[in-house]
Structure formats: structure tokens, C-alpha cells
Amino acid sequence: MVLAGQSVVAFLDARPVFKGHVLLIPREHVETLADLPGRMIEPFFGAVRLVSAAIPLALGAQGTFVGLNNIVSQSVPHLHAHVVPRTKGDGLRGFFWPRHRYESDDEAAEYAGRIRAVLDTGAYRTALVESAITSGAIEWSWIEHRHGVVFEVCFADEAAWEAFRGLPGVQAALDAVPDPVNGVLVYRGRGGGAGTRRPRKPRPSAGAGAVELPEPTAHRVLDLSAAELAGRAVNL
């Protein structure tokens, strides 16, 4: 299983065009796209969008093909969408695509797990960013490193930080992190483990003709020293 939502599920195609080929179906029986109720449009195609974004990140593909058949060439009389990993030069032409098989159940499970891990990451990232915005965050950013994923979020004062940290949505997002060791760290401000009291300046790319932007001074960034992180950071 790649995705198990309340109204939509996603799983690997048993005979994939390329390994990592995912099928998405509504839990409710719907035969064709024309039969899909209006209330199901957003949940179904929202899940298709999520999977199509996750596959390149999970499998190193350059893009995806998304498609579905209605009656003609529809092998199963239940609505299902295909999301196929694609890479330039992969040899596919038109719609006469050969099918393959996984070498074992373990290999299939490994592909499903890689896609599922990216989907899990996206879910808690969305929840944390939405909570930060509604709580009045001045700025935020995501940083990935070998110890996990860092969400750096900056508020104008201590009260706003504490309110954000206590939101049920934030707690739920942190509880949903699949790996309690290499999960997500939430830092109160910019700078991360560097311990700097001042925000990092934007670094222009060499030769791009860019210039450094003025350093923001309108808000306070809290100390992120190792001692503070021990008491403030959340490591799940």
C-alpha cells in the first residue's frame, strides 16, 4: 500500500510500465470518471496530485505520466488513475507500452515504501506550514541534513511561538513523523544548530549577477545554541 486515505487508496500496479507505477482508486465504487460524484473530485484528484509529486522525489524520476481509461481499455470496471514514473529517453512511445513485473514481493514493498515515505513527509510539512502561517510566523524554511529534517520558524515574540507549539495540528504533525530518530526538528527561529543570533544572509549563486539582499532587522531571532536546543527542540 502506498497511500490509505479515508476515501482514496493507492498501491503499486502488479504489472508496471516502470517500477513504481501506482494505481489510485476511490474506496467507494465508481465505474468511470463520468460517474465520480462531485464531492469526490477533490479527494481523488488531490491524491493523484500528491502521488505524482512524490514519485520523482522517491524514485529519482524526472517526471510522471498520469492517465486513466473510461470503458475502452479499462481492464477493471472501477475508476482508477495511473501515475507512472518517467525519465527522458525511457523508450516509451505513444500508448503501446510494455508491462513488466517486480522480481519479488520484497522489491515491490521496497518501491511502495519509498513512495509512502515521501508522502508522509509531505503531509506533516503541509500541516506545520499552515499552522505557522495562521499563527503569524514572520518567516520559515525547511532544511534537510543527515540528522533529519529541520523546520525553522520565526515569530515576533515568545507568546506567538508558544501558541504555535501548542496547536493540536502541530502536535499531530510531529506525532505523524514516521521515524522517531531521524524525524523532524522544530527550531524557534533561523540559524539551526549553528547557534547564531542573527539570520543568515541570502547567498547569491556565483556568476548569476545576483547581489546580497539587506539583512532583515525588524524582528528578533532567538538564540539557537546547543544548550537552548536541548530544552527547546523537538526531536521525533
Per-residue pLDDT of 72-115, as tens digits, reads 989 899 999 999 999 998 888 766 677 889 999 999 999 988 88
216 burial class (0-12, 13-18, 19+ CB within 10 angstroms)? middle
The answer to whether residue 130 sits within a structural domain is no
Asked if 99 and 16 count as a contact pair (C-beta separation under 8 A), the reply is: yes
Q: Which domain holds residue 91?
A: 3-114
Specify the pairing of strand 139-145 against strand 184-188. unpaired
Query: Rounded CA gap, 46 and 220, in Å?
Result: 38
Residue 50 domain-assigned (yes or no): yes
Asked whether residue 160 is assigned to any structural domain, the reply reads yes
Q: Provide the number of structural domains found in the chain.
A: 2
Is residue 14, in this structure, part of any structural domain at all? Answer: yes
Are 151 and 217 in the same domain?
yes
pLDDT of residue 200: 45
Residues 107 and 150 in one domain: no
Q: Is residue 109 part of a domain?
A: yes
Do residue 144 and residue 201 come from a single domain?
A: yes
Does residue 129 lie within any of the structural domains? Answer: no
Q: What is the CATH number of the domain that holds 82?
A: 3.30.428.10
Whether residues 74 and 170 fall in one domain: no
What is the structure's pLDDT at 63?
92
Question: Which H or E run contains 160?
Answer: helix 158-165
Within 13 Å, how many C-alpha atoms sit on residue 155's CB side?
19
Given a contact cutoff of 8 angstroms between Cβ atoms, the answer to whether 79 and 67 are in contact is no
Q: Which helix (H) or strand (E) holds 187?
A: strand 184-188
pLDDT above 80: residue 3? yes
Q: 60 and 163 in one domain? A: no
156/142 Cα distance (integer angstroms): 19
